[in-house]
Structure 1
Amino acid sequence: MSPDPRTPAPAYDDAEKGTLDQVNVYPVDKKPLSFPADEKKDIFPDEKKALAPFTAPATKQDPFASMKATGKKKPASKATIVKLWYNTYRKLFTIAFSVNMIMFGFAVSGHWPYARKFAGAFAVANFNFSILMRNEIFGRCLYLIVNTLFAKWTPLWWRLGCTSVLQHLGGIHSGCAISGIIWLTFKVVLTYENHLSENNAILALGLLTNVAVVVTAISAFPWVRNTHHNVFERHHRFVGWTALLMTWAFTIMGDIYDTKTRQWVPDGRHLVRQQDFWYVMGMTTWIVLPWICTREVPVDIELPSPKVAIVRFRRGMQQGLLGRISRSAVKEYHAFGIISEGTHAKYHYMICGVQGDFTRSLVNDPPRTLWTRELKFAGVSNTSTLYKRGIRICTGTGIGAALSTCIQSPYWYLIWIGSDQEKTFGPTISGLIHRHIEPERLLLWDSKVRGGRPDTMKILKQVYHDWNAEVVFITSNYIGNSEMMEGCKEAGIPCFVTAAILPQ
């Protein structure tokens, strides 16, 4: 009996796992609940209802046809592991945190009265800069500036540095956030030292604010974020917003309360002269801006197998972008890579492999609409325009983050490792690949047919030299990312991991 798409979908835990042995394709237009058969009611009336089976064009001789699947890789040297561990993320964190702690040391020791007096301003200034580093509009502007000014003509080391810094802006985000918590704690301690002159409401709010920002920081630890995504969403985002509102209130209340007269002085002119007021205004602006782009949009969902949902949206996109989608307007947003033929295209796509409740619901109960931010955010793949030639290697659902780069640029080579890719991901993805990527810059490794994963470093080394590439972008699961990064580092091949699961 054919599997029913409404039964619970199996987990798609590892990026390189393939589909089940028995897989049926469930045409979207045959699901009356989500996609009316009536042409007049179809959310995509111009799309053809019947698609002819896709037949891949003839390809040249595969240079890796005789390669056999391999077992475990040789472990990397300790020096390589240390270099990869202390990456640009941690370097930027070290710089941001160290500068703050030097200033904090002068303030605590009494050698810098200004910092002691305006400890609250130092706290919200750090929070302001931390939020700015995660602002999607600010990020798009940075990527645009770098890609416009430095593409191809600058030295390779400079372009690699630009990519690395843009990829690891989170280091500044974390460094400033932790520093802001320390400055806020210092401000609360100073407030309690002067408790006889302070209002009880300010004392209580200061303590609660400190607790809230600590909870926000803990919920963003990698082991929480990667293994308990919903906990991260509810605490880091929503508790974080609450904490920032409390910080806003704590700061403003401190500005308008006169400790000498022990009275509230709601003087607007006095308030706007306070530097921490403007830091708070900036912080609020960075939070609100991305949300003004949130819209509920119609979607079309193709289910080529019980493990994957291909979500189609209107309008084309430039390469290297990611989008957040949710069934709700305000919570549980999930980010996926965007596949598109270009800004001129009619549609763009997201590949959602079944990994949790949200992606499983896309297969079991496909929606007609989803909430998304119309302004997409840039991923590290967006810097592919900096390089003359490059390689995109991915496994399984990682094709969602990799494919646009190779479709939109003839100078990028695609290596896709997976199991029975055409059956698992369907004719839409296969068609995009074979229509836009020539055989001479394409390697599809079917681990089901070839008996396992290949020696990825042997392939990468050969393609890197034959293709005359400058860089390798990797999208896999945690183990795959680590193995390929270690191998590339020891081989002297510049590489970047383009997925959010990069260990931090």
Structure 2
Amino acid sequence: MSSELTPPRSAAPAYDDAEKGTTELPRPVQPTFLPDEKKDPFPNDEKKALAQITAIPIPEKKDTPPPKPAPKPKKKVSKWILWQLWFNTYRKLFTFVFSINMIGIGLAASGHFPYAVKYNGAMAVANFNFAILMRNEIFGRLLYLFVNTLFAKWTPLKFRLGCTSVLQHLGGIHSGCAVSGVGWLILKVVTVFRHRHIEHPSILVLGLLTNLAVFFTALAAMPWVRNTHHNVFERHHRFVGWIALFLTWGFTILNDLYDTNTQTWNLSGVHIVRQQDFWYVMGMTTFIVLPWICTREVPVDIELPSPKVAVVRFKRGMQQGLLGRISRSAVKEYHAFGIISEGTHAKYHYMICGVQGDFTRSLVNDPPKTLWTRELKFAGVSNTSTLYKRGIRICTGTGIGAALSTCIQSPYWYLIWIGSDQEKTFGPTISGLIHRYVEPERLLLWDSKQRGGRPDTIKILKEVYASWNAEVVFITSNYIGNSEMMQGCKEAGIPCFGTLWDF
């Protein structure tokens, strides 16, 4: 097994000229000049002397860029492959969690689940509790640390791939519990209104307001809203969510204090702390507050190698596979980016922010001196790279921000970066990190501008996967590129993990 852990001395298979897409242009013919045979009446006049020389006219030849290769016909992917990619671990976890809860709600509504009938409020906040826990940075980091420490390299490959898949798709539990919590809360409020003759009016009002706030919080997190209207998601999911938390506190405490049998208020604090829904709401609050305790305004240096990219430099080093959230304000519009660092010992870490929206455009047009960030970073799928003996990290464009640290900090990972004029676009800092820490035998940089277009990524992945003796491929690309590579890898039987858009 030790031989498998030694990086090979030779590079991955080279590509022939046709695959490189380069075309050598002929050198333009230099014009030749002949002297005029007529005598010059002004031999001493330099200007007239120049008139003796005439150029033989040669038609101008405009430089033309190398022709782009004709696009290959799109290969049809089997419906089974498409189904496997669509019904991924995220949707499997969501389906499992949601189905179990819907069965419980159905049994409770029909009176066949006495516990849930009596404690339907606790069922609601318990689901919200787990939903928030799945998105908590501290819990996520501990979970990744646990898996990476105990199961790295020695366990069966299928088990390690399963661990990575579950960790990457914890959002399925988050959304499954959140939607289920809305269902349980609706059942709770319906039950309260059915017994409104013995309930206090304040409980009815708070129950209705809590339901509306929670519903709009969940609606703002729908994938379409989150991916196409990020600022709308940020404002509504966060601020309406905080309102929903305060309303949940009020609804829970009033509901626990009011005795429907005697229709009186039991103001005993001991009575409140004995209720399970009180502790579930306390857990929700703790999981929400903890990450914000780590929020700081920190100094930054911003390098602008091109109008398309801002390279943001922060102090202190980081382990590989982490992402950070940054903002211009303390609580609004946080955006996540991959972190590039040489290691925990390093003096700096970097984020590559490609211009895509208002926030990233403002980093280029009006570079700030400070940014707000959470000092505790959250783990991404690359953090599980330590589970594998060898792997391939392929990315396009600004995806290098999420991929580079893995290849810098581990000699067993091969880097493939596809982009356009990368050194000019991303600047000397990023290029320097690549060439300083990633050896040529585990590096493939594809400049689509120089090579006449994008490569056949599946062909490259198959050849590098075989020559590098890799166990897994991590992909960071745009939606189309990610889909093509995931489909190709799945069809070739190559284990792979790509960028998520369904969280």
Structure-2 residue corresponding to 1:108: 109
Structure-2 residue corresponding to 1:320: 321
Q: Secondary structure at the match of 1:414?
A: strand
For the structure 1 residues 402 and 214, does the alpha-carbon distance in structure 2 shift closer, same or farther, using more than 3 Å as the test?
Answer: same
Structure-2 residue corresponding to 1:388: 389
Name stretches of at least 5 consecutive residues in structure 2 with no aligned partner: 1-9, 22-68
Q: Indicate if the aligned counterparts of 2:123 and 2:184 stay in contact, CA closer than 8 A.
A: yes
- Structure number with larger C-alpha Rg: 2
TM alignment of 1:137-216, pairs within 5 A: 137-216=138-217
Structure-2 residue corresponding to 1:371: 372
Amino acid in structure 1 at the alignment position of 2:71: G
Structure-1 residue corresponding to 2:258: 257
For the structure 1 residues 419 and 263, does the alpha-carbon distance in structure 2 shift closer, same or farther, using more than 3 Å as the test?
Answer: same
Once the 2 structures are TM-superposed, how far is the Cα of residue 98 of structure 1 from its aligned partner?
1.4
Q: Secondary structure at the match of 2:336?
A: strand
For the structure 1 residues 166 and 60, does the alpha-carbon distance in structure 2 shift closer, same or farther, using more than 3 Å as the test?
Answer: closer
Structure-1 residue corresponding to 2:501: 502
Name stretches of at least 5 consecutive residues in structure 1 with no aligned partner: 1-58
Once the 2 structures are TM-superposed, how far is the Cα of residue 284 of structure 1 from its aligned partner?
0.6
For the structure 1 residues 61 and 207, does the alpha-carbon distance in structure 2 shift closer, same or farther, using more than 3 Å as the test?
Answer: closer
For the structure 1 residues 191 and 428, does the alpha-carbon distance in structure 2 shift closer, same or farther, using more than 3 Å as the test?
Answer: same
Can you list the C-alpha shifts for 1:428-465, whole angstroms capped at 9, x where unaligned?
Answer: 00000000000010000001111111000000000000
For the structure 1 residues 118 and 60, does the alpha-carbon distance in structure 2 shift closer, same or farther, using more than 3 Å as the test?
Answer: closer
Can you list the C-alpha shifts for 1:310-339, whole angstroms capped at 9, x where unaligned?
Answer: 000000000000000000011110000000
Structure-1 residue corresponding to 2:5: none
Structure-2 residue corresponding to 1:117: 118
Amino acid in structure 2 at the alignment position of 1:319: Q
Q: Indicate if the aligned counterparts of 2:13 and 2:467 stay in contact, CA closer than 8 A.
A: no
Amino acid in structure 2 at the alignment position of 1:312: R
Bigger drift between 210-219 and 465-474 goes to 210-219
Q: Secondary structure at the match of 1:448?
A: coil
Once the 2 structures are TM-superposed, how far is the Cα of residue 106 of structure 1 from its aligned partner?
1.6
Q: Indicate if the aligned counterparts of 1:152 and 1:387 stay in contact, CA closer than 8 A.
A: yes
Q: Indicate if the aligned counterparts of 1:472 and 1:494 stay in contact, CA closer than 8 A.
A: yes
Distance in 2 (CA, whole Å) between partners of 1:262 and 1:451 is: 79
1:71 is the counterpart of 2:68: no
Structure-1 residue corresponding to 2:51: none
TM-score normalised according to structure 2 size: 0.87
Bigger drift between 411-420 and 237-246 goes to 237-246
Once the 2 structures are TM-superposed, how far is the Cα of residue 502 of structure 1 from its aligned partner?
3.1
TM alignment of 1:170-319, pairs within 5 A: 170-319=171-320
Bigger drift between 465-474 and 264-273 goes to 264-273
Q: Indicate if the aligned counterparts of 1:70 and 1:452 stay in contact, CA closer than 8 A.
A: no
Q: Indicate if the aligned counterparts of 1:70 and 1:453 stay in contact, CA closer than 8 A.
A: no
Structure-1 residue corresponding to 2:454: 453
Can you list the C-alpha shifts for 1:69-104, whole angstroms capped at 9, x where unaligned?
Answer: 662531311110011000000111111111112222
Q: Indicate if the aligned counterparts of 2:12 and 2:463 stay in contact, CA closer than 8 A.
A: no
Once the 2 structures are TM-superposed, how far is the Cα of residue 60 of structure 1 from its aligned partner?
7.2
Structure-2 residue corresponding to 1:486: 487
Q: Indicate if the aligned counterparts of 1:391 and 1:414 stay in contact, CA closer than 8 A.
A: yes
Distance in 2 (CA, whole Å) between partners of 1:325 and 1:153 is: 37
Distance in 1 (CA, whole Å) between partners of 2:70 and 2:313 is: 36
Structure 1 stretches (4+) deviating beyond 4 angstroms?
59-62
Amino acid in structure 2 at the alignment position of 1:370: L
Q: Indicate if the aligned counterparts of 2:329 and 2:372 stay in contact, CA closer than 8 A.
A: yes
Structure-1 residue corresponding to 2:42: none
Structure-2 residue corresponding to 1:330: 331
Q: Indicate if the aligned counterparts of 1:209 and 1:246 stay in contact, CA closer than 8 A.
A: yes
For the structure 1 residues 452 and 503, does the alpha-carbon distance in structure 2 shift closer, same or farther, using more than 3 Å as the test?
Answer: farther
Can you list the C-alpha shifts for 1:270-291, whole angstroms capped at 9, x where unaligned?
Answer: 0011000010111110000111
Once the 2 structures are TM-superposed, how far is the Cα of residue 503 of structure 1 from its aligned partner?
3.6
Can you list the C-alpha shifts for 1:201-236, whole angstroms capped at 9, x where unaligned?
Answer: 111111111111111111111111000000000111
TM-score normalised according to structure 1 size: 0.86
TM alignment of 1:428-439, pairs within 5 A: 428-439=429-440
Aligned length: 444
Q: Indicate if the aligned counterparts of 2:12 and 2:467 stay in contact, CA closer than 8 A.
A: no
Amino acid in structure 1 at the alignment position of 2:85: L
Bigger drift between 200-209 and 268-277 goes to 200-209
Q: Indicate if the aligned counterparts of 2:210 and 2:244 stay in contact, CA closer than 8 A.
A: yes
Bigger drift between 103-112 and 162-171 goes to 103-112
TM alignment of 1:48-87, pairs within 5 A: 63-66=14-17, 67=19, 68=21, 71-72=71-72, 73-87=74-88
Q: Indicate if the aligned counterparts of 1:326 and 1:334 stay in contact, CA closer than 8 A.
A: yes
Amino acid in structure 2 at the alignment position of 1:419: S
Amino acid in structure 2 at the alignment position of 1:433: I
Once the 2 structures are TM-superposed, how far is the Cα of residue 62 of structure 1 from its aligned partner?
7.4
Distance in 2 (CA, whole Å) between partners of 1:162 and 1:327 is: 35
Once the 2 structures are TM-superposed, how far is the Cα of residue 352 of structure 1 from its aligned partner?
0.2
Distance in 2 (CA, whole Å) between partners of 1:492 and 1:62 is: 20
Q: Indicate if the aligned counterparts of 1:256 and 1:264 stay in contact, CA closer than 8 A.
A: yes
Once the 2 structures are TM-superposed, how far is the Cα of residue 244 of structure 1 from its aligned partner?
2.1
Amino acid in structure 2 at the alignment position of 1:439: P
Amino acid in structure 2 at the alignment position of 1:474: I
Q: Indicate if the aligned counterparts of 2:121 and 2:277 stay in contact, CA closer than 8 A.
A: yes
Once the 2 structures are TM-superposed, how far is the Cα of residue 261 of structure 1 from its aligned partner?
3.2
Can you list the C-alpha shifts for 1:254-282, whole angstroms capped at 9, x where unaligned?
Answer: 00112233332221000011000010111
Once the 2 structures are TM-superposed, how far is the Cα of residue 187 of structure 1 from its aligned partner?
0.3
Structure-2 residue corresponding to 1:471: 472
Distance in 1 (CA, whole Å) between partners of 2:101 and 2:11 is: 58
The percent identity for this pair of structures is 79
For the structure 1 residues 469 and 158, does the alpha-carbon distance in structure 2 shift closer, same or farther, using more than 3 Å as the test?
Answer: same
Higher relative CO (Cα under 8 Å, sequence separation at least 6) belongs to: 1
Distance in 1 (CA, whole Å) between partners of 2:370 and 2:257 is: 46
Amino acid in structure 1 at the alignment position of 2:361: R
Once the 2 structures are TM-superposed, how far is the Cα of residue 64 of structure 1 from its aligned partner?
2.2
Distance in 2 (CA, whole Å) between partners of 1:114 and 1:166 is: 32
Structure-2 residue corresponding to 1:357: 358
Amino acid in structure 2 at the alignment position of 1:351: I
Q: Secondary structure at the match of 1:450?
A: coil
Q: Indicate if the aligned counterparts of 1:110 and 1:116 stay in contact, CA closer than 8 A.
A: yes
Distance in 2 (CA, whole Å) between partners of 1:101 and 1:503 is: 21
Amino acid in structure 1 at the alignment position of 2:501: L
